[in-house]
Amino acid sequence: MQKIINRLKKMGLSATQIIFNLVTSGLICCTTVSGHSMMPTVHDGDRLLYNPFFKNVERGDVVVISHGGDMLIKRVIAIGGDHLTISTYGSVAINGEWQNETYINPQEQSGESIDVTIPENELWVMGDNRGHSLDSRNFGTVELGDVVGVVIIRKNGGNDGK
């Protein structure tokens, strides 16, 4: 991908033209967010560019997944082999280390505690708006093969999340 971008730069193309060429060639894909489960990181109406040719998925990545015929935007919280603990107050620990999740919507959270080891080639995904997200707390782990792409660029849809 980097070789293609460098070639386009040498041709004198602007960043917008490069992105347009990558999207129209299918090397990156675009989707529009519908919903509030990833606020404050991603808002309803935002446009996302994602890489459908990702090589790996890491904790913290925002991904597009296919679930039950729908495309969902979620954050990867844990990957295969991780031991995940979620307290009844919503605090998250990975492999015994409590996480400082600065990206989540600051709200009071409560629910059932979770203590699970993520199977290999599976992910635990959650929305950043934890009180209003359909995610792995509801449907369990996601198979790596259900990841459609890893988000690389977010463009505000103009509604500022309202």
pLDDT band at 85 (very low <50, low <70, confident <90, very high): very high
Q: For residue 30, what pLDDT is reported?
A: 85
pLDDT(18) > 80? no
Domain membership flag for residue 73: yes
Domain membership flag for residue 133: yes
Q: For residue 161, what pLDDT is reported?
A: 39
Give the predicted TM-score (pTM) of the model: 0.81
Domain membership flag for residue 160: no
Q: For residue 153, what pLDDT is reported?
A: 77
pLDDT band at 160 (very low <50, low <70, confident <90, very high): very low
Domain membership flag for residue 8: no
Q: How many folded domains does the chain comprise? A: 1
Domain membership flag for residue 85: yes
Structural domain containing residue 101:
29-155
Q: Which of 35, 57, 73, 69 is nearest to 159 (CA)?
A: 35
pLDDT(10) > 90? no
Return the CATH number at 64.
2.10.109.10
37 annotated active-site: yes
CA-to-CA separations, 116 to 40, 45, 121, in angstroms, rounded = 27, 34, 15
Domain membership flag for residue 23: no
Domain membership flag for residue 3: no
136 annotated active-site: no
Q: For residue 93, what pLDDT is reported?
A: 97
Domain membership flag for residue 14: no
Q: Which of 3, 74, 87, 155 is catalytic?
A: 74
Choice among 37-51, 52-66, 91-105, 144-158 with the minimum mean pLDDT: 144-158
> Scanning the structure block, which residue is given the tokens 């082999």?
81
Q: Which of 9, 25, 34, 37 is catalytic?
A: 37
What residues pair up with 125 in beta bridges, in sequence order?
76
> Scanning the structure block, which residue is given the tokens 């620990």?
93
